[in-house]
Amino acid sequence: MAKHKREAHLATISVHGGHEDRVPGAPVVPPIIQSSTFHWATPDDGELLYSRFGNNPNQNLVGAKVAAIEGTEAGVVLGSGMAAVAMTLLALTKAGDHIVAASGLYGATHALLGQELPRRGIETTFVDPDMGDWEKAMLPETRLLYIEIPVNPTLRILDPRPIIALAKEKDVPVVCDATFSSPVNFRAADLGIDVVIQSATKYLGGHSDIIAGVVTGTSEVIDEVTKMSRLYGPSLDPHVAWLLDRGIRTLDVRMKRHNENAMAVARFFESRSEVERVLYPGLESHPDHELAQEIMSGFGGMVSIVLKGGGEAADDFMKHLQLGMCAPSLGGVETLVSQPRYTSHASLTPDVRKAHGIPDGFVRLSIGLEAAADLIADFEQALSG
């Protein structure tokens, strides 16, 4: 079902993708087209351009660039990562339809699937990674399978290949939120995933200064997502699209530094007696390390730890941070530290969080681009209190 190609290396596409206008006098950096509407009289003038439609030149450029990076036919940028998730699900389902989704998901996505979509007559069955559960959950009304790689915030790696095979057998698409890995570390479309979602707020933008989302996939799917977005209106401001394009130009080099720093920090935490468990796919101790080596080209910038002292120890650790910033979100140049019980998974009860591998004392770290030695020194003093 997935159709994709990649014509150049990702680092090159990140810089030059979408910037085709090279006539004399054309700007090297595409300008911000801060206009809501454009001259148009009849269909003879071509496509009607209107920024709410998502086809402002800045929106078109960055959507095409991310599609080229992911290796898909088309892409559309939207006003947030959750807008990307919501518009995709609404575009691919209707009342009476059914979704099968991995149980480990971003809290807002879990709430959308489990609470909001049922109000619209769309039901979801949440399943654990075991393939037998996926097969049992399939119904005649099932219209898509939904996964995250890696899972937020436990950083478990789900093997998408048997899920893709099941989806092909049933002729339904696989939708994957690959925000935590970024296209640098995980080539979702190359494995056969049909629709790839990125919260561009994170690694694609990379500087904690925008809110945006991107959906990439076949032209047919992106047309449907675009139609839905024109009804609901989560279009991306042209200036934000321009900032996103600027951030993407350094994506490849940034991700390599994120990967290196995260590995160094993970190994440091593994050596500390205060830490009960370190979750990082690059560590040999990670339950999915071999799978991560097989399907990913890098292990990412996210590290999660569980402190032995529980929630009190986690609170104390964060209070003593001097370099790491206590804030939600991820993927910026600065290191951000948060507790999912207060942020991404605050809507879940303690028992449910624990069942998902997120006990009190769980700390999620988005490792930035600072010197690894400085980060480790900060974490060491914060652990010591």
- Per the structure, the complete domain to which residue 314 belongs is given by 251-384
pLDDT of 258 reads 99
How many residues in the chain?
385
pLDDT in tens, 20-45: 778 898 899 999 999 999 999 999 98
Q: Is residue 166 domain-shared with residue 37, that is, in the same domain?
A: yes
Model pLDDT, residue 15: 95
| 218 lies in the same domain as 169 | yes
* Among 233, 248, 263, residue at a domain's last position: 248
Question: For the segment 128-171, what is each residue's pLDDT rounded down to a tens digit?
Answer: 877 789 999 999 999 999 999 999 999 999 999 999 999 999 99
SS3 184: helix
pTM of the model: 0.94
Cα 7 to chain centroid, rounded: 23
Maximum CA extent, the chain: 71
- The pLDDT of residue 385 is 83
Give helix 81-92 / helix 219-232 axis angle, nearest 10°.
110
Is 1 within the bounds of a domain?
no
The model's pLDDT over 187-229, given as tens digits with 9 standing for 90+, comes to: 999 999 999 999 999 999 999 999 999 999 999 999 999 999 9
Same domain, 53 and 183: yes
Q: Average pLDDT over the chain, rounded to whole?
A: 95
Q: Is 52 a catalytic residue?
A: yes
Catalytic entry in 97, 106, 156, 245:
106
Inform me whether the pLDDT recorded for 5 exceeds 80.
no
Instruction: Let me know if 190 is a catalytic residue.
Output: no
Pair 32, 84: CB distance under 8 Å: no
Q: Is 60 exceeded by the pLDDT of residue 335?
A: yes
**Catalytically annotated residue among 45, 52, 128, 227:** 52
Q: Decide if 2 is inside a domain.
A: no
Condensed to tens digits (0 to 9), the pLDDT of residues 274-284 reads 999 999 999 99
Residues 185 and 300 in one domain: no
The more confidently predicted of residues 116 and 129 is 116
Question: So what's the pLDDT on residue 261?
Answer: 99
**10 within a domain of the structure (yes/no):** no
Alpha-carbon distance of 288 to 268, in angstroms, equals 20
Domain-ending residue, one of 248, 281, 313: 248
Q: Determine the pLDDT at residue 18.
A: 84
Same domain for 243 and 261, yes or no, is no
User: What total number of domains does the chain contain?
Assistant: 2
pLDDT value for 373: 99
User: For residue 68, with 0-12 CB atoms within 10 Å meaning exposed, 13-18 middle and 19 or more buried, which class applies?
Assistant: buried
Residue 246 among the catalytic residues = no
Long-range contacts from 132-137, C-beta under 8 angstroms, 24+ separation:
134/100, 134/162, 134/163, 134/166, 135/166, 137/100
β-partners of residue 195 are: 175
Looking at the fold, whether 273 and 379 belong to one and the same domain comes out as: yes
CA angle 180–219–294, rounded 5-degree value? 35
Is 42 a member of any domain? yes
Look at residue 49 and tell me if it is in a domain. yes
- Answer with the one of 248, 275, 292 that is the final residue of a domain: 248
Each residue's pLDDT tens digit, 219-260: 999 999 999 999 999 999 999 999 999 999 999 999 999 999
Where would I find the H helices in the chain? 10-16, 57-70, 81-92, 107-111, 131-137, 160-170, 182-185, 219-232, 238-248, 251-270, 289-295, 310-319, 350-355, 372-384
Instruction: Indicate the pLDDT class of residue 347, thresholds 50, 70 and 90.
Output: confident
| pLDDT of amino acid 7 | 67
Whether residue 201 is found in the same domain as residue 229: yes
Residue 202 a catalytic site member: yes
Q: How far, CA to CA in Å, does 182 sit from each of 93, 121, 187, 207?
A: 26, 32, 8, 14
pLDDT of amino acid 2: 52
From 97, 177, 245, 288, active-site residue: 177
Residue 55 CB neighbour total at 10 angstroms? 18
* 25, HSE (Cβ side, Cα atoms, 13 Å): 0
**CATH (domain of 282):** 3.90.1150.10
Residues 209 and 125 in one domain: yes
Spot the catalytic one: 65, 187, 202, 249.
202
182 and 262 in a single domain? The answer is: no
Instruction: Check which CATH number belongs to the domain holding 95 and give it.
Output: 3.40.640.10
Looking at the fold, whether 168 and 126 belong to one and the same domain comes out as yes
Q: Which of 145-155 are b and which e, b meaning 16 or more Cβ less than 10 Å from the residue's Cβ?
A: bbbbbbbbbbb
Over residues 44-54, the pLDDT tens digits come to 988 889 999 99
